[in-house]
Chain A
């Protein structure tokens, strides 16, 4: 039996589309501004990426099961609001942060219950949670901005081995997620369920449990992303986290994660996607481009990445077509 598929050079190139785009963006901005390709700016980009990157890593788990979580921005907001209240009432940081993560995970579990127990589409459930969370957070904060104590800011400014703490957290979350997805049974089950939940059930897996877990992970990641955001700007404002879910989805898709499930990765995938979006914004900033143009440029890049992905699928389908040897 002959292999059905031969990987052509085109295909290999298209596989690396996010990486190529990243290289093009780096070189492009580097050529336009000497201030861009510096170590300081590199660290800067990493710090700026951390929060959205962590959000996107959590989102990747959900996308891999062919689900979507539109509520992460609101989950981030609720956990930040509760955390803020606790800190202002005198709780220590060490006690508050775990509570914040637990709240994120709990809201993720709430999503999961409706999705797995009542078999409602993730899109609808998380859309509801998105508005519910926003409302709950506004209620907790009484729609006022809360300035957080000094401790939170020190967290964001802290360095270890010369690298800012938010970058460490981002790296840790990314590596952990990558390890879980590629090297644990649970991680491989995420891919299996995303490819075909019915086949997973027949293979003796429990798709509901896997889906439950990914939403809990995604909620937890949202809370961690919230902590990182607060450590950089220690104030809970009513708009905190608004529309962040779309940045997270964009980062994952840009990194090659399919919205149809079963395909994608955290490393380099999503992490690269998040870095790419942030790098573009950073570069435009350095070039003093009108900030109103940022979303246009960013969405252009996302569209380009998706187009490349579509091209990859077409090449894949073409290569997968049955070839019959014809003697000449």
Chain B
């Protein structure tokens, strides 16, 4: 159905794709995996008409295919579902579905045929099992519902090939399951799909075959049935990752650094109590929407809390603003690094030193000692092992996801926090970068930092933490120490009523 032949692309003379050739047969789903910067996005941008290859060609249904714009691609039946959804929150579902090609009432009359777009949208929404009126504004939909609207959009184009780039990053497990069900049904109808994801488990479950890219070349394309995660990972990184998680080793825990007693806030969390000690990594498991991120926001002082008590190093900090909590050694790495953790347009150096400016200010005017700040930035770059090819003055948005996350971590570490709250610290970053983030976290704990880590990846919690709390619907439902870790038990506690009901 779609075939790539010797696709080559260079950016400023640097090759990002080299002789990539593979085919997606009709009705097949191909998983496309690789570390960040391996060339997946470039390849998909070529397929979607955003970029043109320097050499090589594509065949769609046996005919040459060379889209010059996203519109060309759409006309040829190729739909692109981007990682960041391309929806307009101020328009209705139906308008979003038809925004690129509104049907008119008549050829000579430039009025929209509302009835037709609503009827057609209703049909499409039924196909993706979204029971919402077509005139609902998209801003009223949840992340999962928006993803379904994107798929309806692709179906409206009569797409024969759908590219999905990390479609599950913002979905809850229930929403994921729904999405996968719909994908399976589309596949059985003969639709081809290319599925890009860092979540290898999903790729293996959903795809007929897996194509692995590394450094701009295709290193393998094999039937999924014969593959396992370890094989794929070793292809992706070009070496075996023997030890993804650094061992707990000789870590010892000290005094209680952060203590929560009976935290409750209506609608978000209820009666949360725990103790976090120096040198300890405490994991919080649970489904998305179980109240984990809300808990972290309350601990950091971003959201109010109606009842309960929070103590930092024994001192109550209830009611203090985030700035004061930061001063007392609390740090919070949010789940959305692009929107909340970084100033994307600002330089690496500015982002790194953002939180710790007060430490470099001097005199009555608060003038900055630039040289000291610069030295600290350089030291931190080495400590978090930021890519050496980037300049200090380079905007953060030019970095890969993994390096961006290291900048956020470095920013907080420069302030030498005593307690570090991490919310999904490895979301959307590649395996190599993950390993380095894990090592950083473990090193911090060894140096006595108390770490609270929220994650949706059970494996990383069980691999890294000393204790795990499981949340469900705003409450802590289970707690276990390292020797009791049991993925099934965690999942049961996280899912309980979903399965029982």
Could you list which residues of chain A lie within 8 angstroms of chain B, going by C-beta atoms? 1-5, 179, 183-186, 188-189, 191-192, 194-196, 199-205, 262-263, 320, 322-327
- Chain A residues with Cβ below 8 Å from B102 are 185, 188
Q: Which residue of B lies closest to A192 (CB)?
A: B88
Query: Would B294 and A324 count as touching, CB distance under 8 A?
Result: yes
In the complex with contacts A183-B111, A324-B289, A324-B294, A191-B473 CB distance below 8 A: no
Chain A: which residue is nearest B145 at the CB level? A1
Whether A203 touches B111, Cβ cut-off 8 Å, given contacts A324-B289, A324-B291, A325-B473, is no
Considering residues A4, A201, A324, which has the most beta carbons from chain B within 10 angstroms of its beta carbon?
Answer: A324
Interface flags for B271-312 (1: CB within 8 Å of A; 0: not) read 000000000000000000111001000000000000000000
**Bound complex: CA A325 to CA B294 (Å):** 13
How many angstroms between the C-alpha atoms of A1 and B69 in the bound complex?
35
Q: State A327–B266 Cα separation when bound (angstroms).
A: 10
CB < 8 Å: which of B80, B100, B110, B139 contacts A205? B100
Select the residue from B100, B104, B114, B474 with max chain A CB neighbours within 10 A: B100
Whether A204 lies near B144 (C-beta < 8 A) is no
Interface residues of B (CB under 8 A from A): 50, 69-71, 74, 80, 82, 86-91, 95, 99-100, 102, 104, 110-112, 114, 139-142, 144-145, 174-175, 266-270, 289-291, 294, 473-475
Chain A residues with Cβ below 8 Å from B87 are 199
A323 CB contact (under 8 Å) in B99, B139, B145, B267: B267
* Residues in chain A near residue B71, CB distance under 8 A: 204
Pairwise interchain contact B90-A263, C-beta atoms closer than 8 A = yes
A-B contact pairs, 18 of them (CB 8 A): A1-B144, A3-B142, A4-B142, A186-B110, A188-B102, A191-B90, A191-B91, A194-B90, A199-B87, A200-B88, A200-B99, A203-B70, A204-B70, A322-B289, A324-B267, A325-B267, A326-B270, A326-B474
On chain B, the residues within 8 Å of A5 by CB distance are 139-140
State A183–B104 Cα separation when bound (angstroms).
10
Q: B residues within 8 A CB of A327?
A: 473
Let me know if A188 and B95 touch, CB within 8 A: yes
What A residues does B80 contact at CB under 8 A? 202
Note all chain A residues with C-beta closer than 8 A to B74. 204
Given contacts A5-B139, A184-B111, A202-B82, contact A195 B88 (CB under 8 A): yes
Residues of A within 8 A of B144 (CB): 1
Q: Are the CB atoms of A192 and B142 closer together than 8 Å?
A: no
Task: Return chain A residues, CB-CB under 8 Å to B268.
Answer: 322-324, 326
Contacts of A203 in B (CB 8 A): 70, 86, 99-100
Q: Which residues of A contact B69 (CB under 8 A)?
A: 204
> Contacts A1-B144, A3-B140, A202-B70 hold; do A195 and B267 have CB atoms under 8 A apart?
no
